[in-house]
Amino acid sequence: MEDTSFSAGCAWIKDKYVPIDDAAIPITDTGFTRSDVTYDVVAVWEGKFFRLEEHLTRFEKSWKALGMNPPLSKNRMRHVLHKCVEKSGLTNAYVEMMVTRGSPAAGDRDPRNFKNQFYAFAIPYVWIAEEHEQLAGLKLVIAKSAQRISPHSVDPTVKNFHWGDLTKGLFEALALDAKTAVLLDADNNVTEGPGFNLFAFAKGRLITPATGVLLGITRQTILELADEQGVDCETGILSAKQLLGADEIFLTSTAGGVMPVSSLDGRLIGDGVPGPVTMMLRELYWQAHTRPEWTEDVAYPDESKNVSSLAR
């Protein structure tokens, strides 16, 4: 029988599985009150986790970089993530895991003493841009209102919730009737946007920023797929000027995959429709979601599948 109480999503909080709408964290957890937290997001697509091992490896690197010591082993986390998806029954899911510094004991300001926490949840797959928006191509702007937080302040390779700059960029884009924004660094080079990496295709070559960005798993997947196809491809510096002259632009994220961009700051990119390199890589990206070496099956209990998420 289907457990409907988890159909909107299932979370794991303080050693218990709870429906997502009941999932809450202590208001005193410094994961909230100091954003002292790292996280990761992995997708389940058609009943299979995609590159879960790579996500867990990155996640482990992140909590270690913050000097955190989560109460669960990486293997036990993997088990919890599977269980969250199984219980939800979701075949297409957005699965998030966090390690926080935890709550201080009364009056204690020394974060070395806090008991670190692990939280996780599975909810229906999230699209930064939905299928029909992707096929039309997204309107992107270069944020003028905020510069990306410098790696000298917060390491972007340790996935974090310091999104103030990204959110400001997103609001700027929405006010301009665009879909989202990409942020520049202090040297006017392209970095990333709210939840995505960016690729440009120019002069026959694919380029994505090498530094000052999250090393996204979708980004990595595209680099590998492009390489398999013999597409010339580099990670390096991408200036705002280069971006404005690109033939194709696309965004990559676990929450949406490969998302074509059709205009930048109101100017058409290429012909103003998703370009051929973008569309090829997008197709290959979704095909890769059945590769045995990149997937692992969710063991849903009988008849519990919850195909509520939008099909692609």
Nearest-approach distance from CB 185 to a second copy, in angstroms? 10
Q: Does 136 bind a second copy (CB under 8 A)?
A: no
The torsion of the CA quartet 305, 306, 311, 312, rounded to 10 degrees, works out to -70
In the complex with a second copy, which residue's Cβ is closer, 173 or 223?
173
Task: Provide the 10 A C-beta neighbour count for residue 126.
Answer: 17
Cα angle: 83, vertex 17, 80; to 5 degrees: 35
Stretch that binds a second copy, among 45-53, 79-87, 151-159, 297-305 (CB under 8 A): 151-159
Map residues 197-236 to x or -, x wherever contact with a second copy holds by CB under 8 A.
Answer: ----------------------------------------
CA–CA separation, 242 vs 252, rounded Å? Answer: 19
- Amino acid 23 reads A
- Give min distance, CB of 57 to a second copy, in A: 22
Q: Which is nearer to a second copy, 32 or 285 (CB)?
A: 32
Of 119 and 201, nearer to a second copy (C-beta) is: 119
Tell which phi-psi region holds residue 198, choosing left (phi > 0), alpha (psi between -120 and 50) or beta. beta
Sketch the per residue contact string, 20 through 59, with a second copy: x for CB under 8 A, - otherwise: xx-xxxxxx--xxxxxx--x--------------------
13-21 long-range CB contacts below 8 Å, 24 or more apart? Answer: 13/119, 14/117, 17/83, 17/84, 17/87, 20/121, 20/123
C-alpha dist (Å) from residue 78 to 17, 64, 71, 177: 14, 17, 13, 40
Rg of the chain over all Cα atoms, to the nearest angstrom = 20
* Encoded tokens for 51: 């590159």
The answer to the question of residue 6 lying near a second copy (CB under 8 A) is: no
Closest to a second copy by CB, 94 vs 300, is 94
Minimum distance between the CB of residue 226 and a second copy, rounded to whole angstroms? 27
Please say which residue, 135 or 280, places its beta carbon nearer to a second copy. 135
What are phi and psi for residue 139, nearest 5 degrees?
Answer: -85, 120
Q: CB-wise, 129 or 246, nearer to a second copy?
A: 129
Residue of 119, 199, 201, 294 that binds a second copy (CB under 8 A) = 119
Instruction: Quote the Cα angle for 246-252-257, to 5°.
Output: 130
Q: Is 149 in the site for a second copy (CB under 8 A)?
A: yes
Nearest-approach distance from CB 69 to a second copy, in angstroms = 14
For position 127 contacting a second copy by CB under 8 A, the verdict is yes
- Please, which of residues 90-109 interact with a second copy by CB under 8 A? 96, 101, 106-107, 109
**Whole-angstrom Cα distance, residue 297 to residue 308?**
18
CA distance 84 to 66: 26
Contacting positions for a second copy (CB under 8 A): 8, 11, 13, 20-21, 23-28, 31-36, 39, 67, 96, 101, 106-107, 109-112, 119, 121, 123-124, 126-128, 146-150, 152-155, 160-167, 170-171, 174, 186, 310
